[in-house]
Amino acid sequence: MVLKFCGNIRQRCTKQLLFVLFYAVGFLLVAQNNPKNLHELLDSKVFLAPKMYWEPSKDQGEIKALFFETLDYKGKPTRAFTYLGIPKSNTPVPAMVLVHGGGGRAFHEWVKIWNDRGYAAIAMSLEGFMPNETGQGKFTYEYSGPQRVGQFDDIDVPLTEQWMYHAVSDILIAHSLLAKMPEVDATRIGITGISWGGILSSLVSGIDDRLKCAIPVYGAGFLHESKGHFGVFRSNNKFIEEKKFWDPANQFKTGSVPTLWVNGDSDAHFSLNITSKSFQVTENHAYMTIHPSMKHGHPPGWKPEEVPEIYAFADAILKKTELPFGRIVKQPKGRRINLKYTSEVPITEATVYYLNEELTYRKEPDAKHPQPSNWQKMTAIVDDRKQTVCAKLPKGAKTYYVNLKDSRGFIISSTLVQL
């Protein structure tokens, strides 16, 4: 009798434990599938200035090295290695948060580009690394945080242990750090990110309304729809719905931060269709610039001579030293292109880039990743008095977009059209 009684007790306890575990897992999955909950799921500390630890041995000239406290990871305190640069000024300056891509690090070179243009800038390592004294290399340290695991491949661990949770939090903390510095104008802070940094910066633009502009490069929303390398996770059914929790579109589609989407038309990771779709759901406060055959990488995504629109967009919003970008008010559709735009700066030329097939990615024998076939191009007719662009597509064309170039050389791009 005693053994039977004890067995019943164990059975009831086991059932209760299983119920608790089932409830906990269920709560996590529900939370992760509710795109409106991310702001509430973040720790309130991310909106407060963190404690800083200066690291002068790793300074790069006028650009200072430091660690700032971030959220605990698995019960362990963590700190993010960071470069911070503030140009000399008699008045508070605008600032940019710089978010590196996958496998990247805190780039002091990137900070300097913005410093030279009159901006304060902060670049932090999001993958738990610090550099050596020359600013190169990637080394773990006592307070290293989590490292990225594939494409959301840590989705099965608790939310607060996932890399994306900490990366988003670190970015918000970096913004909070900048905003509390007396040399920085807290009302003029923007963000830009490259590749994975484009994913993160676009996501953060939907939850941090303190930002005054966002410039995601390559990375965008609707990631599982990418025809490039980043879309491969859609073929992995394990936790695919949970992985979609981290798609930036869940956040930025309800945001209002002025945004410039930047990409190439043949990017191997983030195909043009998802950049265009990201632009479409933010169109009332967004712009898009597509550079033909733009290479993928950190320098191609930040060099002023290659992507001048990034700096002109920031200057127009944060410094008011550039005229605003033009806006396409009637997007093209069909074979007869009749596009309308508004622009304070004359549009000097328009070019149609097209494919004689649907946007399709193929892997060439010597290529690392699949890419689309070569885009063809044709000149369109610009009537700057009427602010219209007209063209007639060749019969075989099935996919296209239109680039307008203003007298400053800045590109404004239409949405992608697939016939």
pLDDT at residue 26 in the model? 39
Over the stretch 350-381, which tens digit does the pLDDT of each residue have?
999 999 999 999 988 887 888 999 999 999 99
pLDDT at residue 251 in the model? 96
Question: Does 9 have pLDDT greater than 70?
Answer: no
Q: How confident is the model at residue 34 (pLDDT cuts 50, 70, 90)?
A: very low
Over the stretch 199-249, which tens digit does the pLDDT of each residue have?
999 999 999 999 999 999 999 999 999 998 877 666 666 677 888 899 999
Residue 34 C-alpha from the chain's centroid: 20
pLDDT at residue 332 in the model? 97
pLDDT at residue 235 in the model? 61
Place of tokens 């996919």: 399
pLDDT at residue 234 in the model? 65
Predicted TM-score of the model (pTM): 0.91
Over pLDDT 70: what percentage of the chain?
90
Averaged pLDDT score across all residues of the chain? 91
Q: How confident is the model at residue 35 (pLDDT cuts 50, 70, 90)?
A: very low
Over the stretch 154-168, which tens digit does the pLDDT of each residue have?
999 999 999 999 999
pLDDT at residue 369 in the model? 82
Mean pLDDT along residues 51-79: 98
DSSP state, 316?
Answer: I
Structure tokens at 41: 């799921």
CB 325, CB 413: distance < 8 Å: no
Contacts of 191 (CB under 8 A, 6+ apart): 96, 97, 98, 99, 171, 175, 201, 204, 205, 208, 211, 213, 214, 215
pLDDT at residue 160 in the model? 95
pLDDT at residue 204 in the model? 98
Over the stretch 306-342, which tens digit does the pLDDT of each residue have?
999 999 999 999 999 999 999 999 999 999 999 999 9
Strand-pairing partners, residue 67, are 53, 81
Mean pLDDT along residues 149-153: 90
DSSP character string of 338-360: EEEEE-SS-EEEEEEEEESSSS-
Cα 337 from Cα 212, distance rounded (Å): 34
